Amino acid sequence: MESTTIKKTFSVIPGLNMGLFAPKDFQNILNIINKYDVPRTKITGAQRLALLDMDQDEIPKLHKELKGYIRPQVSNGVHYVQACPGSKWCKYGIADSLKLGENIEQIALNKPLQAKVKVGVAGCRMCCTEPYVRDIGVFASKSGWTLVFGGNGGGNPRLGDIVAKSLTDEEILTLITKCLTVYQEKARPTSRTARFMTRFGIDALQELVLK
Ligand code: SF4
């Protein structure tokens, strides 16, 4: 019987603009992937691109060639921002989730976060990017944005808590910054927001961020 050796080599390409590609960029990325003979690719759940089963030595060279198509990694420690097509591209969209996602990536923080912070932004209440199970979840309704904090969709899942509703773009960016600052100051090292919120509680968070 023939045995198959599974090479568990993979690389995830970050910074691909929340999964949004211009077709010509997509073609160029594909040309580069073909040049390096990458055996398999995958669009990940986080709207990024995974290159699977490739030769470890080739990864740095390939990354170098892809650099022009990759946005610099966010410096605020946010692990990734996932955003749905929103009002720009979806018939149900009420607000521009892609624009807000870009602005969340740019939030400036003065020190590192304790652990991964994943962000899901949805352009309507259908919540296609699963904001209730992201560290930071945002969705739009007719009255404005709702902010959810402390969700997790992993092996120990938790629905995030609603921090505030009916927020403008500016208000929600300010509020996210405040929530992340409280998390930085009060959470235990390596604690994800879900575990932090279970311990700290939504009332205590709102007390600090909504005054
Ligand atoms: S959350 Fe709403 S706006 Fe976003 S993709 Fe889903 S249905 Fe469309």
Mean of per-residue pLDDT scores for the chain: 88
The rounded percent of the chain whose pLDDT value lies above 90 is 55
pLDDT (0 to 100) of residue 73: 61
Q: What is the mean pLDDT of residues 138-159?
A: 97
pLDDT (0 to 100) of residue 47: 79
By C-alpha distance, which of 162, 149, 131, 132 is closest to 192? 149
Tens of pLDDT, residue by residue over 76-97, are 667 788 999 999 999 999 999 9
Structural contact between residues 101 and 86, judged by C-beta atoms closer than 8 angstroms: no
Q: Which of 80-94, 99-113, 133-147 has the lowest mean pLDDT?
A: 99-113
pLDDT (0 to 100) of residue 100: 97
Q: Which residue, by CA, sits nearest to atom 3 of ligand 1? A: 93
- Give distance in angstroms: CA of 162 to centre of ligand 1: 19
- Give distance in angstroms: CA of 139 to centre of ligand 1: 9
By C-alpha distance, which of 156, 18, 164, 10 is closest to 78? 18
**Beta strands, E only, 32-135:** 40-43, 49-52, 78-83, 117-122
Pocket test for ligand 1, best of 20, 91, 94, 97 (most atoms within 8 A of CB): 97
Pocket test for ligand 1, best of 18, 84, 96, 146 (most atoms within 8 A of CB): 84
Tens of pLDDT, residue by residue over 17-76, are 777 778 888 888 889 889 988 888 888 877 788 888 887 888 888 888 887 777 666 656
> Which numeric CATH code is attached to 78-209?
3.30.413.10
The upper half-sphere exposure of residue 16, i.e. CA atoms within 13 Å in the direction of its Cβ, equals 21
CA atoms of 160 and 146, how far apart (whole Å): 12
What is residue 140's DSSP assignment? E
Q: Which residue, by CA, sits nearest to atom 5 of ligand 1? A: 84
CA atoms of 53 and 31, how far apart (whole Å): 18
Tokens 């921002």, located at residue: 81
Q: The pTM is what?
A: 0.87
CA atoms of 152 and 165, how far apart (whole Å): 20
CA atoms of 149 and 162, how far apart (whole Å): 6
Whole-angstrom distance between the N-terminal and C-terminal Cα of the chain?
Answer: 69
Q: Which of 63-67, 152-156, 189-193 has the lowest mean pLDDT?
A: 63-67
Does residue 149 carry a pLDDT above 70? Answer: yes
All CATH 3.30.413.10 domain ranges in the chain, comma separated: 78-209
Ligand 1-lining residues (CB < 6 angstroms): 84-86, 90, 92-93, 122-124, 126-128
Which residues, listed in sequence order, are joined to residue 12 by a DSSP beta bridge? 50
